[in-house]
Structure 1
């Protein structure tokens, strides 16, 4: 992809991130949540993926001591299938390792098999189920884990 860049999210990126968020999730986060994450959450680490200076994806994580959790990751629907999610996830894992993270976890919808397949490529394994985790439809979440070091 021409001019692909991944960088730390800034406040000015939130409108672009909201487009990706709204196209990707049935219960999208609000602008206020992203402002809180970027400006006030000392544990939050958010990155945007741009192609030709347009935001096409983003990822967020929380780091507490040597544990991290992916809060959300999304790529614009019309660009999925081009390994952009894989590039963004790999970048995030590398960033987390540099921050001293030893374990990474996330929740993924039980029905989201493409995402589960992606996470398994990076060594993540199912570690449990959160029953009725998603508020929009009470779908279960699969908790996945990986040791980074």
Structure 2
């Protein structure tokens, strides 16, 4: 059976047309929210973040944020394991010279599993969490992920709204997932 091929498409071996994979998720996921020109005020926009791969020198500052943000923080040893894990892709987010957040995922074959997304409480509600997630999504896409999955606390409504805004869909609920609180996790996924 022959299917018409549109410009910009390639034919896969099954005979169905397939679009070329964009080089970056930025080509399919806008990096900023659409704003009417008259509503856009540059002073309202947060300064851009810089990202660096997590290194041993970052661990002490990341640990301070971890303890400040989570009832069940990761340990020094857990972050060292992330540095040694070949499947781990972990990044710190800088604003000027200050680490204001971090995030990471594991790549298992073609699935990215988000392990942490953290923003310093003093910098929340400014869009930095979304910037970190977009960066993680772009990095996952670039290393070949076709899907990204994550768990989020059932009571963390702001994070759930952010993930939905980024295109994640709810796949299920896992009761008692968070041992420290007994709270359920909402399972979410994004297909690239």
* Same fold at TM > 0.5: yes
**Structure 1 residue 101 and structure 2 residue 177: aligned?**
no
Q: Secondary structure at the match of 1:23?
A: helix
Q: In structure 2, how many angstroms separate the alpha carbons of the residues matched to 1:122 and 1:2?
A: 20
Q: What is aligned with 1:15? A: 60
Q: What is aligned with 2:78? A: 33
Q: In structure 2, how many angstroms separate the alpha carbons of the residues matched to 1:30 and 1:144?
A: 25
Partner of residue 72 from structure 1, selected from 113, 116, 129: 116
State the aligned residue count: 147
**Structure 1 residue 131 and structure 2 residue 175: aligned?**
yes
Q: What is aligned with 1:119? A: 163
* 1:52 CA drift (Å): 2.1
**Can you list the C-alpha shifts for 1:65-100, whole angstroms capped at 9, x where unaligned?**
100100011000011011001111111101111101
Q: In structure 2, how many angstroms separate the alpha carbons of the residues matched to 1:10 and 1:53?
A: 15
**Structure 1 residue 83 and structure 2 residue 127: aligned?**
yes
TM-score (norm 1): 0.95
TM-score (norm 2): 0.74
Q: Secondary structure at the match of 1:140?
A: strand
Q: In structure 1, how many angstroms separate the alpha carbons of the residues matched to 2:138 and 2:87?
A: 17
User: What runs of 5+ residues in structure 2 fail to find an aligned partner?
Assistant: 1-45
**Structure 1 residue 4 and structure 2 residue 49: aligned?**
yes
| Bigger helix share | 1
* 1:135 CA drift (Å): 0.7
Q: In structure 1, how many angstroms separate the alpha carbons of the residues matched to 2:159 and 2:178?
A: 16
User: What runs of 5+ residues in structure 1 fail to find an aligned partner?
Assistant: none
Q: Which has the higher contact order (CA 8 A, sep 6+)?
A: 1
Q: In structure 1, how many angstroms separate the alpha carbons of the residues matched to 2:92 and 2:136?
A: 10
